[in-house]
Amino acid sequence: MSRATESALADLQQVIANLQQQLDERTAERDALRRELTDSREQQTATAEVLQVINASPGDLAPVFDIMLQKAMRLCEAQLGLFLIYEGDGFRTVSWHGAPPDYVEFVTRGTIRPGPHTGLARLVREHRLVHIEDLAADEAYRRGDPLRVASVDLAGMRTFLAMPLVKNDMVLGVDVI
């Protein structure tokens, strides 16, 4: 094979490699757009379902809290969730799914007053989403905060995601999954 032919083949292989890379990049972009579209459709569907429940139960918020919790759990693929109402200095559990009976008894026996190092206390202070990757490695667990210890030991929680329901810069409730 002549040097010119070898050079032409090398150039052709480089062109093919560049085209393959472009194809791979566009395929990855397309897949990302499809995932984004699917996520957006799921969020729209969840919002529509919540609005249907609100319209079907005027004055009764319990079904609304329940459907909000279910949709948050589905969207985040969570196995356990609580919806809590914030009342003054504490929380009252109004909806739960996937929680073991001992944990349900703990979180429904009265007002939950979160310790200063808990995710709920941060949520009240900051009025924004709180994510704790490992509850058992967090300071509140090491300090023996009753809510944190119950969440880890009774419910088997490891990751915590709390999304506040805020109106006029006041926390009204929270989805915890």
- Which CATH number do you get for residue 172? 3.30.450.40
Question: Which residues, including other chains, have CB under 8 Å from residue 160's CB and lie 6 or more apart?
Answer: 119, 130, 131, 132, 135, 151, 176
Q: Which two tokens stand for residue 105?
A: 């008894």
Tell me if residue 155 falls in helix, strand or coil. Answer: coil
- 115 and 35 share a domain? no
* 127-165 pLDDT per residue, tens: 999 999 999 999 999 999 999 999 999 999 999 999 998
Same domain, 104 and 133: yes
pLDDT in tens, 86-116: 998 899 999 898 999 999 999 999 999 999 9
Same domain, 86 and 126: yes
Residue 90 in any domain: the answer is yes
* Same domain assignment for residues 130 and 99: yes
> Is residue 112 located within the same domain as residue 159?
yes
Q: Is residue 67 part of a domain?
A: no
Residue 66 maps to a domain: no
Distance, in Å, from the CA atom of 156 to the CA atom of 137, rounded to the nearest integer, reads 13
| Predicted local confidence at residue 15, as pLDDT | 79
Tens of pLDDT along 41-59?
777 776 666 666 555 666 6
* Residue range 67-93, pLDDT digits in tens: 877 888 788 889 999 999 999 889 999
User: CA-CA distance, 26 to 3, in Å (whole number)?
Assistant: 35
**Residue 72: inside a domain:** no
- Give every strand in the sheet of 170-176, ordered side by side: 90-97, 81-87, 170-176, 160-167, 130-132
Residue 147 and residue 88 share a domain = yes
Let me know whether 32 and 92 are in one domain: no
Give the distance, in angstroms, between the CA of residue 96 and the centroid of all CA atoms in the same chain. Answer: 15
Question: Tokens 């393959």 appear where?
Answer: 20
Amino acid at 105: E
Say yes or no: 113 and 166 in one domain. Answer: yes
In a domain, 62, yes or no: no
Is residue 58 a contact partner of residue 145, using CB atoms and an 8 Å limit?
Answer: no
My answer on whether 41 and 92 are in the same domain is: no
- Residues 116, 168: one domain? yes
By residue range, what is the domain housing residue 13?
A: 1-56
176 touches 161 (CB < 8 A): yes
How many other C-beta atoms lie within 10 A of the C-beta of residue 120? 25
Note whether 37 and 89 are same-domain residues. Answer: no
Which pLDDT does position 98 carry in this prediction?
A: 92
Q: Is residue 166 part of a domain?
A: yes
Look at the chain and report how many structural domains it folds into: 2
52 and 10 in a single domain? The answer is yes
Look up residue 118 and give its DSSP letter.
S
Question: Which range among 31-35, 62-66, 68-72 shows the weakest confidence by mean pLDDT?
Answer: 62-66
Q: Residue 46: its pLDDT value, please? A: 66
Report pLDDT for 18. 80
**What is the widest separation between alpha-carbon atoms in the chain?**
87
pLDDT at 55: 58
pLDDT at 103: 95
